[in-house]
């Protein structure tokens, strides 16, 4: 399977996930779900633009991926601020989000640091997911954990963001795109888990 085919499969799942999130919007009316929908739409649009740029060898002069990363990781932080409502959880999210956004300012003026910004965002998102899963494990909801959408989203984020950290930290030194297929596989797995959660989980009273 060549790079173009891999990217087509990847973007297909990302677009399908975004569309399904809107289709099931009436089922999951919560702030968490609204933020998730926005996140999935931003990702789908950004990756579609990315494939177009790769196909026609277009340089991202408008910093689309940098700006998208800013919104994606801040949306994830907002999503988990609605789930981790205890003081400790909110403080961790606030502190790590501050570090991410502070570093974003430096990256905006030095694009070569972009891969490390993504790595920081991945670490933050993975930690947020872990903190929620830990909270879920210690609550009564663990009995029916498969029925909770945040469980599926958190597992999906944890698998993708933690395992892709080494890739993004090394991306600045890569000579080609030979290893990008691994990220495509992780993205597909992440989207399959989110789709499962959107369809399978039940409506939450509130987040």
User: What is the per-residue pLDDT across 34-69, written as a single tens digit (0 to 9) for each?
Assistant: 999 999 999 999 999 988 887 777 777 768 999 999
- Which residues, 6+ apart, have CB-to-CB distance to 79 below 8 Å? 32, 35, 36, 39, 128, 153
* Average model confidence (pLDDT) across the chain: 89
DSSP structural state of residue 113 = G
Assigned token pair, 140: 């009564």
Task: Grade residue 173 by pLDDT with cuts at 50, 70 and 90.
Answer: low
Task: Grade residue 169 by pLDDT with cuts at 50, 70 and 90.
Answer: confident
The CB density around residue 61, as the number of other CB atoms within 10 Å, is 7
**Are the beta carbons of 204 and 29 closer than 8 angstroms?**
no
pLDDT reported for residue 207: 44
Asked whether the predicted pLDDT for residue 147 surpasses 70, the reply is yes
Task: Grade residue 187 by pLDDT with cuts at 50, 70 and 90.
Answer: very high
pLDDT digits 0-9 by tens, 111-125: 889 999 999 999 999
pLDDT reported for residue 190: 97
Q: What is the CA radius of gyration of the chain?
A: 17
Question: Global pTM?
Answer: 0.92
Residue labelled with tokens 């009564």: 140
Assigned token pair, 112: 């070569």
Whole-number Å distance between alpha carbons of 140 and 148? 12
Strands (DSSP E) found in 7-141:
none
Q: List the alpha helices (DSSP H) in 56-179.
A: 64-81, 87-109, 114-137, 149-163, 165-170
Give the residue with greater pLDDT, 159 vs 206. 159
Assigned token pair, 2: 């060549």
């Amino acid at each position: 399977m060549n790079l173009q085919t891999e990217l087509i499969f990847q973007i297909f799942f990302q677009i399908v996930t975004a569309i399904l999130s809107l289709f099931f919007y009436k089922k999951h009316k919560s702030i968490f779900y609204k933020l998730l929908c926005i996140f999935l739409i931003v990702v789908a649009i950004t990756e579609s633009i990315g494939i177009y740029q790769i196909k026609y060898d277009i340089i991202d002069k408008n910093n689309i991926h940098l700006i998208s990363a800013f919104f994606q990781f801040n949306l994830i932080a907002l999503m988990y601020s609605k789930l981790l409502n205890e003081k400790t959880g909110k403080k961790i999210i606030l502190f790590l989000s501050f570090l991410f956004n502070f570093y974003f300012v430096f990256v905006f003026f030095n694009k070569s640091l972009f891969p490390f910004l993504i790595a920081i965002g991945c670490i933050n998102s993975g930690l947020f997911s872990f903190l929620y899963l830990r909270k879920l494990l210690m609550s009564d909801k663990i009995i029916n954990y498969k029925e909770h959408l945040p469980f599926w989203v958190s597992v999906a984020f944890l698998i993708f963001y933690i395992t892709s950290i080494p890739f993004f930290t090394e991306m600045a030194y890569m000579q080609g795109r030979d290893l990008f297929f691994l990220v495509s596989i992780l993205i597909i797995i992440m989207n399959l888990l989110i789709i499962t959660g959107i369809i399978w989980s039940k409506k939450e009273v509130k987040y």
